[in-house]
Chains A and B, each alone.
Chain A
Amino acid sequence: MSERSERTDQLGAGNPSPLWEVFVRARRGLAHTHVGSLHAPDAELALRNARDLYTRRQEGVSIWVVPASGITASSPDEKDAFFDPAADKVYRHPTFYDVPEGVAHL
């Protein structure tokens, strides 16, 4: 009991709620788009808070919440090395072929 009241007297005491990233799909057929993040103790509350925070004016019909710790991001430092191969592999682009004149629907 004494431990508890001591902790609650301290400002910002206790474990911080984890951070969640929020993705909203605006309408059927569109992709989920990242709209922001929020803190919540669990997924259920994260979902409810995301509804209140990001879809109060019909901004979406579907919400995903993902713990921020579950996301691995690429680093801008390795941007060149990581993304470059796309540029020198022209065969990945459909601009590589000569189509004879007069061919339709291709």
Chain B
Amino acid sequence: MYGNDFPGEDAPGGLLGEVEAAEAALRAAAERDRSAAGPGEDLAAYFAEVVDADQKIEPRDWMPEAYRRTLIRQIAQHAHSEIIGMQPEGNWISRAPSLKRKAILLAKVQDEAGHGLYLYAAAETLGISRDELVELLLEGRQKYSSIFNYPTLTWADVGAIGWLVDGAAIVNQVPLCRCSYGPYARAMIRVCKEESFHQRQGFEILHTLAHGTPAQKAMAQDSVDRWWYPSLAMFGPPDGDSTHSAQSMAWKIKRFSNDELRQRFVDMCVGQAEVLGLTIPDPDLRWNDERQSYDYTQPDYDELMRVIKGNGPCNRQRMAHRRRAHTEGAWVREAAAAYAAKQRNKEKVAA
């Protein structure tokens, strides 16, 4: 549906190639569904069959209550992350170094808002309203990605967020294009295509800085030094400590473990860092011939837990900002609702 909007300049093995493949698989699964028998008496068995056959569960299908709850939690947190994630980058909109950079950054932050909306819409198909989800976020009962609790101290941080943070997000999200829940899978296909722009944009910012003056290069290196480990931590706790993983994998919500995805991300970044001419801040990073992967130092998971629990560098600031926007925007929402009601009345009178 959207395939023709984005030139397929990526190699078939690339991340965009994987998104295209997931889209094709989604269509193929839908075709197969035509001959499949409908649900019989045993709804749970039918659910398991559909998931086993790599077909999609749709909003009005029966699903285990725990599957529904897990998806609401995961999709909502994903949506909240997109919305809160606008803050660290929005911080640099008014200070972007050129008009071109500023326009691109604006478009990117707009995309993030859109991603948040697609995801809230996907969550709503599970029988919860967006207003309830927003309330859960504002009350601190639902979380957002730990990464957005780190500050953007320099312009280069906008580049590092694009390259590393959006890069990690794509590695995490591309497999979600094959998630067993149809609305989430479809949202992820849209999101991943746009997210790959962002990653390239970030890479280009860092590349320009790294090939600029010594001061610019130092600024780029400093931002990579600060964002590398928080980005690795985005994949979540190590497999042994991940509470939701096993069930999510069985339901085909998740397709790969946290550690598998983290490894994939490290392997992807090393070559890109070389092209950038920047160093990944890990003295123990080296190629392991036996595993055909890089060995690397794990991020500090105690720090990750502290940040998730609300005690990272910017947690309070991010939430205060989001709450203020909500409270101070209340009268605007009321005005829009009152205007809509007035228009409806006018129509009724005219009719």
Binding site for B on A (CB under 8 A): 7-9, 11-17, 19, 26, 33, 35-39, 41-42, 45, 52-53, 56-59, 73, 75-77, 79-80
Question: Does B60 have its Cβ within 8 Å of any Cβ on chain A?
Answer: yes
Query: What are the 3 tightest A-B residue pairs by CB atom distance, in nearest-first order?
Result: A42-B340, A8-B330, A12-B135
A15 to B139, CA, bound (A): 19
Contact A45 to B138, CB < 8 A, known contacts A33-B1, A59-B5: no
Q: Which of B116-124, B206-214, B253-261 contacts A (4 or more CB under 8 A)?
A: B116-124
Sample 16 A-B pairs with CB under 8 A, ordered by A number: A8-B330, A8-B331, A11-B138, A12-B132, A12-B134, A12-B135, A15-B337, A17-B336, A19-B124, A26-B1, A38-B121, A42-B339, A53-B117, A56-B110, A58-B5, A76-B38
Nearest CB to that of A49 among chain B residues? B117
Question: Does B42 have its Cβ within 8 Å of any Cβ on chain A?
Answer: no
Interface pair B39/A79, CB less than 8 Å apart: yes
Interface pair B337/A13, CB less than 8 Å apart: no
Of the residues B1, B60, B135, B138, contact of A35 by C-beta under 8 Å: B1
Chain B 1-46 residues near chain A, CB threshold 8 A: 1-2, 4-6, 38-39
A82 to B61, CA, bound (A): 15
Contacts of A57 in B (CB 8 A): 5-6
Binding site for A on B (CB under 8 A): 1-2, 4-6, 38-39, 58, 60-62, 110, 114, 117-118, 121, 124, 129-132, 134-135, 138-139, 187, 323, 326-327, 330-331, 333-334, 336-337, 339-340, 343-344
Known: A15-B337, A42-B340. 19 other contacts (CB 8 A): A7-B330, A8-B327, A8-B331, A11-B135, A11-B323, A11-B327, A12-B132, A12-B134, A14-B330, A36-B118, A37-B124, A38-B121, A41-B336, A42-B336, A56-B110, A58-B5, A73-B60, A76-B58, A76-B60
A59 to B4, CA, bound (A): 9
A44 to B341, CA, bound (A): 13
Contacts of A45 in B (CB 8 A): 336, 340
Of the residues B114, B138, B339, B343, contact of A53 by C-beta under 8 Å: B114
Interface pair B5/A12, CB less than 8 Å apart: no
Contacts of B331 in A (CB 8 A): 8
Interface pair A77/B39, CB less than 8 Å apart: yes
Contacts of A53 in B (CB 8 A): 114, 117-118
